[in-house]
Amino acid sequence: MRGLHRALKRRFSIAASPLAVRRHLAWYWRFPIMLILLAGGITLAWLFYDAGMRFAGFERGETVGELQRLREKMGTLVRENAILHSAGAQSERKLQIEQATQNDLAKTVKSLQDENAQLKGDLAFFRKLMSPDKNDGNLSIYHFRVENSGSPGEYRYRLLLLQGGQREQDFQGRVQLLVNYAQKGKKMVMTVPPPKETDAPAFKVNFKFYQRLEGTFRIEPDALVKNVQVRVFENAAVQPKLMQTANVF
């Protein structure tokens, strides 16, 4: 009984825990309040972010304006670059045309100079050809030239023989070339045509006034031709009647 009495005393006496009365909030008010709190939180966060950006020196409006100015400047630079590119292309085409014109003029001048030199040579040739002087030397090598044809080891020669004076009879004979060259540090000589082909038709001559001979000979590509000597033999003669040496161009 004493234990029951003590329990009832503790429960209903003044020393018992105070009774809390809470007001119940209806469920349909809770959602709007949560939305309001959420919107407030977002607003506060944006304000703090904007304040932080301003404090750091970034202004959103200024940044947007600067970005727009940079875009406009980039557009201007792109247009200027296109204009300069077009002008550069036109200048390059104009320069190419001018260079082509200069090259054509240089070729024309060179051609005229060569033609002029050839005409002078032809004039001197015909003067010598028509000369009736008996002391004109009779048979002579008027022109002899050797040059690289552009192909490795191939050379082209040009020879003009002239008979002056009274020309009492035709000159008959043959021509021989002695090619002096160096190969692998050794000096060597090649005969054109070879000794076994001295009667080759391409190297025979038979003329009263003049005769031209043109042709090519080949040598090892690694050989360096120093000069070429032309020898003119009269029929059945062992010793040459004329000799002349020409350097290679």
Q: What are phi and psi of 230, to 5 degrees?
A: -100, 135
What CATH number corresponds to the domain at position 149?
A: 2.60.40
Residues 241 and 149 in one domain: yes
- 107 and 169 in a single domain? The answer is no
Q: Give CA–CA dist 242/231, Å, rounded.
A: 6
Tell whether 16 is covered by a domain: no
Give 24 or 83, the one with higher predicted confidence. 83
Asked if the structure places residue 179 within a domain, the reply is yes
Domain annotation covers residue 194: yes
- The Cα diameter of the chain in Å comes to 182
Question: What are 15-52's pLDDT values in tens digits?
Answer: 545 555 555 556 666 667 777 777 777 777 777 766 66
136 has pLDDT over 50: no
Q: Are residues 152 and 234 in the same domain?
A: yes
Domain final residue, candidates 130, 152, 182: 130
Res 80: pLDDT: 85
Question: Is position 15 within any domain?
Answer: no
Q: Please check the confidence at residue 223 and state whether its pLDDT lies above 80.
A: yes
Whether residue 86 sits in one domain with residue 47? yes
Specify whether 146 is located in the same domain as 236.
Answer: yes
Q: Are residues 88 and 171 in the same domain?
A: no
Q: How many CA atoms lie within 13 A of 193 on its CB side?
A: 12
Q: Where is the domain boundary, 97, 130, 163?
A: 130
Which residue's entry shows tokens 């809470």?
22
154 and 124 part of one domain = no
What distance in Å separates the CA atoms of residue 209 and residue 165, rounded to the nearest whole number? 10
Range of the domain at 125: 30-130
pLDDT at position 181 is 94
Q: Is 150 in the same domain as 243?
A: yes
Could you tell me how many residues make up the chain? 249
Answer whether residue 8 is part of any domain.
no
Which among 101, 130, 159 is the end of a domain? 130
Same domain, 176 and 120: no
- b/e string for 84-121 if b means 16 or more Cβ within 10 A? eeeeeeeeeeeeeeeeeeeeeeeeeeeeeeeeeeeeee
Q: Is 206 within 8 Å of 143 (Cβ atoms)?
A: no
The verdict on residue 41 lying in a domain is: yes
3-state secondary structure of 147: strand
Q: What are the strands, taking DSSP E only, across the chain?
A: 139-148, 154-163, 171-183, 186-192, 204-207, 210-218, 224-234, 242-247
Report how far apart, in Å, the C-alpha atoms of 60 and of each of 52, 56, 95, 190 are.
Answer: 11, 12, 51, 92
159 and 72 share one domain: no
The structural domain count of the chain equals 2
Distance CA 139, CA 211 (A): 11
Are 201 and 158 found together in one domain? yes
For residue 128, give the 3-state DSSP assignment. helix
pLDDT in tens, 91-120: 888 888 888 888 888 888 888 887 787 777
Q: Residue 20 falls within a domain, yes or no?
A: no
Q: Looking at the domain assignment, is residue 12 inside a domain? A: no
Domain identity same for 96 and 114:
yes
Who has greater pLDDT, 237 or 46? 237
The pLDDT tens digits of the residues spanning 62-81 come to 667 778 888 888 888 888 88
